[in-house]
Amino acid sequence: MTTTAAATAVSKTHAWLGTLAAISILWSPTIAQACAVCMASKDDDTRTAYVIATAFMTLMPFVLLGGFLWWLRRFLGEDEA
């Protein structure tokens, strides 16, 4: 097998793997039934869970950053006293 033929075979393999990965990613919400928009309207408990989880994930980086900055300010302030 020549170098060009080997490169072509590898390119075709990568193309098939890329296609397979794309299809898997596109089908995964269907398989897991994990669409927040589709599943949230089925009952109030599910909708409430999605809202709480979304709020938690949205606020957590700000809480962590704020806590770190508060700790850093206190830590640096102790050296001055």
Span 6-27, pLDDT tens digits:
556 667 777 788 888 888 777 7
The answer to whether 30 and 38 are in contact (CB under 8 A) is no
pLDDT of 60: 96
Tokens coding 32 = 């897991």
**Span 37-45, average pLDDT:** 66
Is-contact 40 47, C-beta < 8 A? yes
Per residue in 56-80, pLDDT (tens digit) is 999 999 999 999 999 999 999 876 6
Domain map (residue ranges) of the chain: 1-34, 41-81
Q: How many residues does the chain have?
A: 81
Total-model pTM: 0.44
Tokens of 53: 């989880």
Q: For residue 63, what are the contacts with CB-CB under 8 A and spacing of at least 6?
A: none
